[in-house]
Amino acid sequence: MHPAPAFLETDRDRLLRRTEAWPFAAIIGVADGRPHVAHSPVIRGGEGTLRFHLARMNPACQAITAAGRALIVFTGPNDYISPDWYGQEDQVPTWNYLSVEAEGPVTPQDEAGATRFLDDLSARFEEDLFPKPAWTRDKMRPGSFERQLAGITVFSLAPERLEGITKIGQNKPAEVRQRAGRALKASGGDPTISSMMERDS
């Protein structure tokens, strides 16, 4: 996490909405003092839990299974900020971004839970492809889904720590931040970051 308290984000609802908006994350487990990382889409479960899947043979999956814990890092929108855009002297380059970290115990899901997760996952992202008819596992040949399901582990993580970073220049005077946000937008930069920088508060 960024050490500056001005950038710390702790609003749970805002953080969970952020995980839904940018659901692809790094999943980290530790085994024998060594971190192992994999990448996966993450979707919410009941009561604020976060669900994800990894290949059983992935070292990160094995580390997480053995430790019973994981760290999920969501990297949201981000962009470079040129010091020229502030209109102030003696500024340095920086990077503005949104992020979320979720850390806590994990529970491997049984076959029924893993199936529900994959159904929910495909439904969540297939709806973005409308008007294409949604893919469902009913389109697969009998037995094919079950064989492929056996190659993954689905986890549910209950966050003990849920924190994020909202770094959009809020440590700068409003007019300075807004000026930089307009310059970022004019340069074709990230629209979420530039819009947040341009707000009055």
Confidence of residue 28 (pLDDT cuts 50, 70, 90): very high
* Average pLDDT over every residue of 42-60: 95
* Average pLDDT over every residue of 101-110: 98
Query: Is the separation of the CB atoms in 140 and 87 below 8 Å?
Result: no
Confidence of residue 69 (pLDDT cuts 50, 70, 90): very high
Backbone angles phi, psi at 43, to 5 degrees: -125, 155
Query: Is the separation of the CB atoms in 175 and 197 below 8 Å?
Result: no
For 5-78+95-170, CATH gives 2.30.110.10
Confidence of residue 1 (pLDDT cuts 50, 70, 90): confident
pLDDT digits (tens, 9 = 90+) for 141-191: 999 999 999 999 999 999 999 999 999 999 999 999 999 999 999 999 999
Q: Would you list the DSSP string of 99-147?
A: EEEEEEEEEE--HHHHHHHHHHHHHHHHGGGTTSPPP-GGGSPTTHHHH
Q: Which helix (H) or strand (E) holds 51?
A: strand 50-55
Structure tokens at 201: 């508060």
Domain boundaries, the chain: 5-78+95-170
pLDDT digits (tens, 9 = 90+) for 111-152: 999 999 999 999 999 999 999 999 999 999 999 999 999 999
* Average pLDDT over every residue of 28-52: 95
Confidence of residue 2 (pLDDT cuts 50, 70, 90): confident
* Average pLDDT over every residue of 66-73: 97
pTM for this one?
A: 0.93
Task: Note the pLDDT of residue 201.
Answer: 62
* Average pLDDT over every residue of 6-34: 96
